[in-house]
Amino acid sequence: MWQTGSGAQTNMNVNEVITNRAIEMLGAMHIAAAIEVYEVLLPGLQKLHDALEAKSKECAQIIKIGHTHTQNAVPLTLGQEFSGYVQQIAAKAAALTGLPFVTAPNKFETLAAHDALVEFRRDVNTTAYSLMKMANDIRFLGSGPWSGLGELILPKNEPGSSIMPGKVNPTQCEAMIMVAAQVTVIMSLLLLEAAMDISN
């Protein structure tokens, strides 16, 4: 398709179709969001938190070079590095709590805006970006192993290449990055849906 400018004609029409279909599929969006958070997201984040905490303790005695601006810096332990990730997840998980539901003290505010959903989107986006940063760190630290940093040995979960035996690709990190990117897109659609709901 060819058109001029920023494509506002197409974008606005497509956005309206997508958001209205999302409204049909989601129904009561606050309840749907809360159920997904409490049944899927928070238990998943708790598992990740526990795994990172265990890895932090397991690696408490492994001393490595720290980096700033990709240059060698102050030594630290691998456990300390992972402990930073533990704290990031714990803080974000705490920010996502919000049940039980109560009636809004100001009905006009809830009719005029969806501030709770906007804040929810912010917290989920922040969590997604934190996870993306962790995955990128681990991928970077495991690069190489000879011409990259090669500080971490990534697990060999599947063959990395049919023409390069022994190659290990950071597939779990890349999967996490793709999921995090998808979450940010979904959260943007949720915000758009809320805006469309208010305008209707």
Nearest CA-CA partner of 37 in 110, 102, 94: 94
With contact defined as beta carbons under 8 Å apart, do 197 and 156 qualify? no
User: Which residue in the list 69, 147, 162, 199 is annotated as catalytic?
Assistant: 69
Q: What is the DSSP string of 33-74?
A: HHHHIIIIIHHHHHHHHHHHHHHHHHTTT-EEEEEETTEEEE
| Residue 67 annotated as catalytic | no
- CA pair distance 194, 78, nearest whole angstrom: 43
Question: Is 8 exposed, middle or buried (CB count within 10 Å of its CB: 0-12, 13-18, 19+)?
Answer: exposed
Residue type (1 letter), 150 = G
* Catalytic residue (one of 30, 143, 161, 188): 161
5 contact partners, CB below 8 Å, separation of at least 6: none
Helices and strands in the chain: count of H runs, count of E runs: 7, 2
Joined together, the tokens standing for residue 141 give: 């630290």
To the query of whether residue 161 is one of the catalytic residues in this protein, the response is: yes
Distance of CA 95 to the CA centre of its chain: 14
Q: Please confirm whether the linkage preceding 145 is cis (ω < 30° from 0).
A: yes
**Residues identified as active-site:** 69, 161
